[in-house]
């Protein structure tokens, strides 16, 4: 009897039983839909065949071939756009977030309050943040144009969201604003793990601020940096709401991301199978980055 | 000594400037909601409303508007998703933190991976499934889908809470004759309460912020959550910025409340969920 309880406690069944409900839930609402999505991408389901299963058949890679093979393929363009959007966002989010983390790692009056208040942009519903920036970049009434005109950078108000290049700039700026707190907090957490006395001995050796930054701080918090960059990449690469609200992928697909394109195919053109194929392309890219991330955090933590 | 004080003042000023720049968009949202349409389109537009008016808020809060209905729908959906995610994640996190069993590592990886998946990936399949089950325009559709965002996140942060509770506590409980279930409910759960709060708060905030599920599963305007009703409002009234911003402020209100009163939980959730994994 005693032996049996002991086995349960460290053994296989109980831990498994505790975990099972959550796992089953994820299998039903994420696992199975992913498999169905893959199957769907090899079929011909659209608005005509949606209701009639007998009309649905497997057509192999035709959806993928059509999406990639079309002249001026929007999918190819949207992958490029997503890369530009992601890299530009992360570059600035990371640098600004890093700088803010260095600042707020110091003790000064108001430090906790300022740091806390900056977090708010990360928590807001992205839809609202998107509308707010849509207004900020509006041609008439938008504050961005007024500021730039007051500073004499531009002489005429710009249609930020109606020109391809400036629309991309606008959505990147909005996304930077949303993502800075995430970068700041993760790097700040990394900074608190660096022992103070390393800096003290570096000071004795007469190290400059830059030397301390590049030879002590950055190498010491490398795990945090890798986390924030890869997670940032994953989170940014799948952004949907912000772009859907601000530009809907326009003008002329210049801000179309893979996520918005997949949505448009499925729910505006009702080409469900094509939408599924586009979503799978997004999935494949994220999976690669995700596995890279898991490998790196796995190597320095036992489970 | 003097140099240190001067440095602190410089840091304070820099911090203040960053704070002002960073929160300016939110200030601008509030000020715009309090302006008249005429003032919004003035050049240069005033930084503080000359004719301060609550008209936009009154309009949004009147009984006939979509705002309050959207608010109510969002509340139902977010609380539902929060309950599912929290109730399922607590035992899962406990199991993954305290027991050794086959496949454990694979389970943890599964939760980590699902956290990174885009909603678009499951959206079409879920839409087809829900439409087959007559669940479109039913609260259950977005509730069930939104819970999948909060659930893996909650498992991961709660697990790190359970891991941090010393093993001696379980052993002491065992010596006192507590079974595993008993020690889970009587000892572990109360200690992990801050973690449970973090998990619940995040599940709520994630569900509250969702646009894509609400937009897709709720085609009936009366059933829409507030994010998709504000989205539809803007499509309809392109340049009514004061009303739109008032709508936005109402939509972010619960999040701001959570932010003010539970900030310390949020900070710990953000860092634990992402790094410790």
Place of tokens 């410790």: B276
**Has residue A78 got a pLDDT over 80?**
yes
List of chain B residues with pLDDT < 50:
275-277
Q: Is B219 exposed, middle or buried (0-12, 13-18, 19+ CB in 10 A)?
A: exposed
Residues of A in contact with B15 (CB under 8 A): 103-104, 108, 110-111, 114
Nearest to B101 among A16, A122, A231 (CB): A16
Has residue A7 got a pLDDT over 60?
no
The model's pLDDT over B79-106, given as tens digits with 9 standing for 90+, comes to: 999 999 999 999 999 999 888 887 888 8
Q: Measuring CA to CA, which residue among A218, A259, A225, A212 is closest to residue A86?
A: A259
Is residue B44 within 8 A of residue A150, CB to CB? The reply is: yes
pTM for the predicted model, two decimal places: 0.90
Which of A125, A266, A278 should one mutate to test binding to chain B, selecting the residue with the greatest count of B CBs within 10 A?
Answer: A125
What pLDDT shows up at residue A2?
41
State the pLDDT at residue A3. 41
- Give the pLDDT confidence score for residue A303 in this predicted structure: 44
- Ranges of each domain in chain B: 64-276
The Cα–Cα gap between A212 and A199 comes to: 7
Residues of B in contact with A267 (CB under 8 A): 127, 216
Model pLDDT, residue A111: 85
Q: Which residues in B lie closer than 8 A to residue A120 (C-beta atoms)?
A: 23, 26, 256, 259
Q: Is B177 left (phi over 0), alpha (psi -120 to 50) or beta?
A: left
Helix boundaries (H) for chain A: 2-10, 12-26, 32-41, 62-69, 74-104, 111-118, 120-123, 126-136, 143-150, 164-191, 196-204, 209-212, 218-220, 222-237, 241-246, 258-267, 272-299
| The listed CATH number (3.40.50.300, 3.40.462.20, 1.10.3720.10, 1.10.240.10) that belongs to domain B64-276 | 1.10.3720.10
Query: Of all residues in chain A, what percent carry a pLDDT higher than 90?
Result: 48
What SS3 class is residue A41?
Answer: helix
Write out chain A residues lying below 8 Å of B18, CB-based.
100, 103, 114, 118
From chain B, pick out residues whose CB is under 8 angstroms from the CB of A263.
120, 123, 212
**String of DSSP letters for chain B:** -HHHHHHHHHHHHHHHHHHHHHHHHHHHHHHHHTS-HHHHTSSSPPSS-SS---HHHHHHHSTTSHHHHHHHHHHHHHHHHHHHHHHHHHHHHHHHHH---TTHHHHHHHHHHHTT--HHHHHHHHHHHHHHTT-TTSTHHHHHHHHHHHHHHHHHHHHHHHHHS-HHHHHHHHHTT--HHHHIIIIIHHHTHHHHHHHHHHHHHHHHH--HHHHHH--SGGG--HHHHHHHHHHHSTT-HHHHHHHHHHHHHHHHHHHHHSHHHHHHHHHIIIII-
- The distance of A300 to chain B (nearest Cα, Å) reads 10
Dihedral of the CA atoms A261, A265, A269, A270 (nearest 10)? -150
d(CA A6, CA A18): 17
The angle subtended at Cα A201 by Cα A197 and Cα A204, nearest 5°, is 140
Q: Which residue of B has its CA nearest to A21?
A: B88
CB B134 within 8 A of CB B67: no
* Closest residue in A to B148 (Cα–Cα): A26
> Which is nearest to A239 in space by CA: A79, A87, A86, A124?
A86
Over residues B211-263, the pLDDT tens digits come to: 999 999 998 989 999 999 999 888 888 778 888 999 999 999 999 998 888 88
Q: Is the peptide bond before B44 cis (omega within 30 degrees of 0)?
A: yes
> What residue spans define the domains of chain A?
73-299
Identify whether the C-beta of residue A125 lies closer than 8 Å to the C-beta of residue B251: yes
Q: For residue B160, what pLDDT is reported? A: 84
Is the pLDDT at A253 greater than 50, yes or no?
Answer: yes
Q: What is A73-299's CATH topology? A: MetI-like fold (1.10.3720)
Q: Which of residues 192-251 of A touch B (CB under 8 A)?
A: 223-224, 227-228, 231, 234-235, 237-238, 240-241, 244-245
B237: contact with A, CB 8 A cutoff? no
Tokens standing for residue A295? 């490998």
What span, in angstroms and rounded, lies between the C-alpha atoms of B3 and A18?
57
The nearest CA of chain A is from the CA of B19 a distance in Å of 6
Q: What is the pLDDT of residue B251?
A: 93
With a CB-CB cutoff of 8 Å, which residues 80-119 of chain A face chain B?
A: 100, 103-104, 106-111, 114, 116-119
- Does A134 contact B at CB distance below 8 Å? yes
Q: What is the pLDDT of residue B164?
A: 82
């Amino acid at each position: 009897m005693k032996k049996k309880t002991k086995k349960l406690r460290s053994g296989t069944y109980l831990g498994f039983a505790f975990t099972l409900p959550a796992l089953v839930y994820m299998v039903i609402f994420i696992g199975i839909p992913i498999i169905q999505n893959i199957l769907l991408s090899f079929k011909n389901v659209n608005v005509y065949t949606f209701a009639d299963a007998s009309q649905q058949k497997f057509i192999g890679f035709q959806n993928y071939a059509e999406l990639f093979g079309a002249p001026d393929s929007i999918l190819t363009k949207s992958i490029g756009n997503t890369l530009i959007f992601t890299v530009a966002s992360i570059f600035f989010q990371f640098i600004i977030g890093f700088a803010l983390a260095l600042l707020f790692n110091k003790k000064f009056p108001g430090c906790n309050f300022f740091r806390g208040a900056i977090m708010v942009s990360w928590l807001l519903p992205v839809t609202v943040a998107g509308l707010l920036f849509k207004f900020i970049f509006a041609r008439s009434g938008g504050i961005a144009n007024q500021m730039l005109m007051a500073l004499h950078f531009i002489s005429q108000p710009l249609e930020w969201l109606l020109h391809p290049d400036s629309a991309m700039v606008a959505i990147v700026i909005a996304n930077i604003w949303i993502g800075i707190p995430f970068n700041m907090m993760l790097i700040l957490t990394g900074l608190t793990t660096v022992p103070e006395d390393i800096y003290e001995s570096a000071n004795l050796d007469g190290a400059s601020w830059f030397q301390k930054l590049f030879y002590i701080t950055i190498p010491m918090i490398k795990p945090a940096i890798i986390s924030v960059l890869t997670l940032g990449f994953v989170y940014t690469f799948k952004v949907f709401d912000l772009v859907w609200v601000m530009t809907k992928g326009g003008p002329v697909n210049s801000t179309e991301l893979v996520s918005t394109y997949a949505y448009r195919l499925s729910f505006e053109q009702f080409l469900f199978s094509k939408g599924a194929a586009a979503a799978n392309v997004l999935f494949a890219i994220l999976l690669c980055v995700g596995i890279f991330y898991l490998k790196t955090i796995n190597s320095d933590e036992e489970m | 000594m003097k140099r240190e004080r001067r440095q602190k003042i410089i840091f304070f000023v820099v911090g203040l400037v960053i704070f002002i720049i960073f929160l300016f968009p939110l200030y601008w949202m509030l000020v715009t909601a309090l302006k008249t349409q005429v003032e919004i389109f003035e050049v240069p537009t005033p930084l503080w409303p000359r004719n301060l008016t609550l008209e936009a808020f009154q309009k949004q809060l009147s009984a006939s508007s979509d705002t309050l209905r959207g608010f109510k729908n969002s509340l139902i959906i977010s609380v539902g998703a929060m309950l599912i995610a929290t109730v399922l994640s607590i035992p899962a996190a406990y199991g993954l933190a305290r027991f050794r069993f086959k496949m454990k590592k694979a389970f943890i990886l599964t939760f980590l991976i699902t956290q990174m998946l885009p909603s678009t990936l499951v959206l079409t399949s879920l839409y087809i499934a829900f439409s087959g089950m007559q669940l479109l325009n039913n609260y259950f559709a977005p509730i069930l889908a939104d819970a999948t965002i909060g659930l893996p996140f909650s498992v991961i942060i709660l697990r790190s809470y359970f891991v941090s509770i010393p093993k001696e506590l379980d052993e002491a409980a065992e010596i006192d004759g507590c079974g595993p279930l008993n020690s889970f409910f009587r000892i572990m759960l109360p200690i992990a309460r801050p973690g449970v709060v973090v998990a619940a708060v995040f599940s709520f905030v994630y569900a509250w912020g969702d646009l894509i599920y609400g937009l897709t599963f709720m085609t009936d305007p009366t059933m829409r959550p507030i994010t998709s009703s504000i989205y539809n409002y803007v499509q309809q009234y392109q340049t009514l910025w004061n009303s739109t911003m008032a709508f936005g402020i109402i939509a972010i209100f619960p999040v701001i409340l959570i932010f003010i009163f539970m900030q310390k939980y949020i900070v710990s959730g953000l860092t634990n969920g992402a790094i410790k994994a």
